[in-house]
Structure 1
Amino acid sequence: MTGWTADRIPDQHGRVAVVTGANSGLGLVTATELARRGAHVVLAVRDTAAGERVARGIDGDTEVRELDLASLDSVRAFAAGLVVDHPAIDLLVNNAGVVLLGPRRTSADGFELQFATNVLGHFALTGLLLDALAAARAARVVGLSSITHRNAHLDFDDLLFERDYRAAAAYGRSKLATTVLGVELDRRLRAAGSPIVAVLAHPGLTRTNLTPRAWEHRGRSGRLIARLGLLATQSVERGALPQLRAATAPGVRGGQFFGPSRFWETSGPVAEARFSRDATDPAVGTRLWAAAERLTGVAYL
């Protein structure tokens, strides 16, 4: 398999990179590669003991900070402490995510847990770090989407699945919302004349601990894909390449979307990926942005 690889990551010395969910899976690979190329990498993790363990195995300059994206108080505390020590941040990779099975669960703030973690926590974090990102010379924000976003729907009358809860549908909605807000962030940064670049990536079907859960409740075909995901799809090292390309490749433009290029974008070399229609609809973006501001209490751009 050819194409863009981690060996093509430019030198990152002098850059500060924040990677959420960096203690395992895609986040750990992303943090490891960025540190290997010279970045100072902040591992933003809920479990700092686990973060410290993996940081000891990374060859490079790292630090571990506590961040629970399902708690807006934690997001605010993390951001406030981070900007004191790092007033300029070059890269924010909003990688962390959860996939839930079973009954509906809620965050510390009372929101459906997948939407709270995957969407609202990252929306608030980006807004709270925006000034530090603007202080860097060529900052980027990378949002992590999923191919599941294409089959999802945003119901603004029940955005947080308070009625008729279905775990798999809620996960897909969270990934569509992440994608919509990433596209909308790019629109707003451009309108404001900001030098910050907002891009998106998805890992296709990658052998992480989240992949089987994301698919196994989507009927017979979803269960088949989940089994194939354990047997025949990408390693986590390959799955991280789209977000690493989005984060580091020269010439990346705001609003681009990277993912695998083969087998319905489940695996293969990195290329530009396909958005769903809702993901790029400005009316949907405006409406969801307003909802995210209201739910998080964080308003920006």
Structure 2
Amino acid sequence: MNIPQSIGAVQDMLGAQGYVCGRALGTVAFLALRLGRPLFLEGEAGTGKTEIAKALSLALGRRLIRLQCYEGLDAATAVYEWNFAGQMIAIRTAEAAGGVDRAHLKDEVFTEEFLIERPLLQAMRPQSGGAPVLLIDEIDRTDEPFEAFLLEALSDFQVTIPELGTIAAPEPPIVILTSNRTREVHDAVKRRCLYHWVDYPGFDREIEILQARAPEAAESLSREVVAFVQRLRTEDLFKKPGVAETIDWAKCLLALDVVSLSPEVIADTLGAVLKYQDDIARLQGSEAKRILDEARAGLAPV
């Protein structure tokens, strides 16, 4: 599929994949596609940063390549590593045959035949459906040395393998980086990207998202769920629920054939919304009823 030619076309394209996209995010996504620039999405967990990469991949018919970041991630895991077992077998086979030229043998075992490609290298390879979508997820979990290593990939869309040389992408991948802001990512990385803060959506937007992802939910239940979650986000919680939790909770309620929220239902299903016991404990007893009453009070009649 060709790159959309307008902001509205990007919003429509993502919407067709169930990803409801506001004008601001649609604009920066359009510019990233049009200009071939990496897109850096920062925000709270569960606000849809990862999902936009999945939606773009599906909508454009491109392969999705995901690099899940974590502390201690290095080039060997992110770019490539050598198949040492295969190399040893090749060396022993050559030695058994006799007449081994060690200099020649070294060239033979450090070839693409023994190369194990990891996400960054895979993203530099030609793809049948066009340049892939490369998702570098939760980059804030890595450390500064890995960020420095990423600069070559993001600047020139190429990676260097000492034994083989530099491998450049024939067509730059569509790069999306996400961060939950557990720490600040270095400015040098951000400067190479278009930046957007993905915030919690407003009430109407979250209703629209929920209707797209859980269309079987009745409007009245959807409104109660969104109103309760939005009111919950104003509480002093260790981890506020994201949009992902709103969707999960609605699907849990549907599985239980719930048609309307009650303190009892909320107590039984809080594990779908809150992920820390201290937060769950705060909503025991009358607290859930208080928040539910306040959420309902703010709802306009349907």
Task: Give the TM-score normalised by structure 1.
Answer: 0.31
Question: Relative contact order (alpha carbons < 8 A, sep ≥ 6): 1 or 2 greater?
Answer: 2
More helix by share: 2
Larger radius of gyration: 2
